Structure 1
Amino acid sequence: ARRKAPASALAVSRAVADYGNPYGDPAPAWERLNATADVRPGAEVLYFPDGHAAFREPQAAEATWQVLQHAGITATVLPHWIDAGETLLELGFLEQAHRQARHVVSALRECDTRVVLFSSGDTYHMVAEEYPETLGLSVEGLTLRHTSEFFADLVAAGRLRFKPLDARVTYHDPCRLGRGMGVYDAPRQVLSAIPGLTLTEPPWTRERAVCCGGGGGMPWTNPDLTAAAAENAAAMLALPQPDLIVTGSAHCKSHLASALPEGKVLELAELISGVL
């Protein structure tokens, strides 16, 4: 199967093998992943950013960290970032994905924090669903949550309060977070808690939301289709004439941003960190 894989897919496999991430970068762009000071024993939550937040959209990872700190949550990260293997699995490298998954599960179990937060629906779905169902790896004993779910709980408990924001905002449902994990209400609950914000919906939303083009390994194997999907999703999300488009994934943010004016799309934590 490896001999039949396209060169672009093989490049991802080699990058993960050689550098530990699908981008082939020597170190994460989010500096906290390279700082031992942010590995904190006994923390309430462990934040596990996906590769895109760690290497391509570090401002989204930092915004998540800032929101947690503002709410008084003690958070930690793994001593070394580990690729969860979702892209490898999508591209058909099952054995390599299984090896990555074993590394992740081992690292999570060695940590004394049992609540794991993901800011990506892809990584969340990979660990929560694909690890036990496809790869046969148990994640029992770990509480796995998307950051939007955790933020919604903090809002309900009065631990997150926001400054007013006079803006029309359309929320984009990432595929794996929505259709994969059923998380639709939590991000909308967080956005609706911001005074002055008007939450709008595109014609196709929730279960029928339009893909940004970032899933299925397409950015590597079919970049033209990815670009077309991003253009289609951006056009759909712009129909309610929002001031901002917010999505629950740094990965989706990058693809939507390629088809929208600069500053038009934000990851959820980026928006709320600006109104704390």
Structure 2
Amino acid sequence: MFSIHWGYQPLHYVETLDYANVVLTFVFTLFCLLVAYIMFREYREGPLLIQKNREVMHSEVSAKIEGGSLDITSMLTSASALGALVYFPFANFSSLNTWIIGNVTSQVLWVLQYFEIPAYMKAWNMITLNGYTVEIILACTAIESIALFMGLIGAVKAPLNRLVMAFIVSVPVIYVLNLIRDIFVVVAYGEQWFGADSFIIAHNYIAKAGSGVALFIISYAVLKILPELLGMIDGLWVILSEELKYLLRRFARD
């Protein structure tokens, strides 16, 4: 399901000239397909477990997982399911979609007007400044990043106080930083800070780079609070590496 969903996204980003997201969504589609293949192999051969020495092994029965082993795909499945529960309702139910986009639009406009920037709401999801209009869409709400972090945090077995702290340093921070990002794009485009290509430069390059840096810092903070996530990430890397080697060996023999 994820590979199908993300497989369609590059077409949208090509239309908006957002080539960074074209690459990211394409890579993520391949990642989802590889994970699906790994899960299919697990269905046939048993769960893949990561031992303390980072050795990958198949367990015939999930219940045989030992204390020193990590069932990475189960953790990844939990993270994906939780993330999907957060993201897909907003993506597929028009009432929730309209609600979150409308809220973000209103909040961005409120901040602009608070600082006496002469912007106004042209439509329920459009903000105009000096005759230049920016449309707020679902991707402008940060719901994708929020869903990602909520899924990862929810998939980790850790004390509740650390889970809550990880949530606080990620989800609310992402939401606020996204509002700042949207405000920057509206002002940069409305004031034509970068000339005729102000929107593309502000949205596709500067805001994208800023978002990347912010997510890196937030990820670091979450990992400091939940070091258990490192085990899942490291285990996922080991499994993906081993499965890629396995596939390459099969193709080489064929």
TM-score (norm 1): 0.23
Q: Which has the larger radius of gyration?
A: 2
TM-score (norm 2): 0.24
